[in-house]
Amino acid sequence: MALEYVSFARAIGRTVLRALWASGYSANTALRWLVKEGYGYRRQDFLADWRELISGAVRERFFSEMPKYVRPTIAMMTTKASPVGDKYVYTYKMNLYDEKTGKLYEDQSYSIGEEKIISIQEAEDELIDYVEQYPEELKVVKSTLINVKRR
């Protein structure tokens, strides 16, 4: 039963970490808040989750505020887990509008692979051309670069 509780507490903690970070909480303050609410879990596990989730949020904010003409440097990129596929992968979060149904699809993740480093605008243009070729007649409403990976 204790193992189930730990898993449950960790799952709850992971769901609120980004909200706590966005509200200005530090890692220690967030852990104290979770413990006060009765959802604390091992400090090492919490800090590992904090680093994993918050580094993704920081990268999203970093890339979304970067000018479109910039070509990301090697230092800005994360490394892919396996060396399969293209040398560089640009990942975007997009909002798409289906003209046939009138439905808006929010926060769809799409990636585009490249053999060389290109600017954010070039990658975005290439991805928009690719997405708008779908037979569903999807139009890109908004796109935000969230990560660049290299192998």
Mean pLDDT of 23-48: 83
**Which range is least confidently modeled, 15-29, 47-61, 78-92, 108-122?**
78-92
Judge whether residue 114 has pLDDT over 80. Answer: yes
Name the strand (E) or helix (H) holding 88: strand 88-98
Q: Which pLDDT tens digit goes with each residue over 75-104? A: 666 665 555 556 888 888 888 888 888 888
| C-alpha closest to that of 145 among 60, 52, 58 | 60
pLDDT of residue 4: 44
Report the distance separating Cα 95 and Cα 1, nearest Å.
42
Assess contact for 17 and 49: CB atoms under 8 A: yes
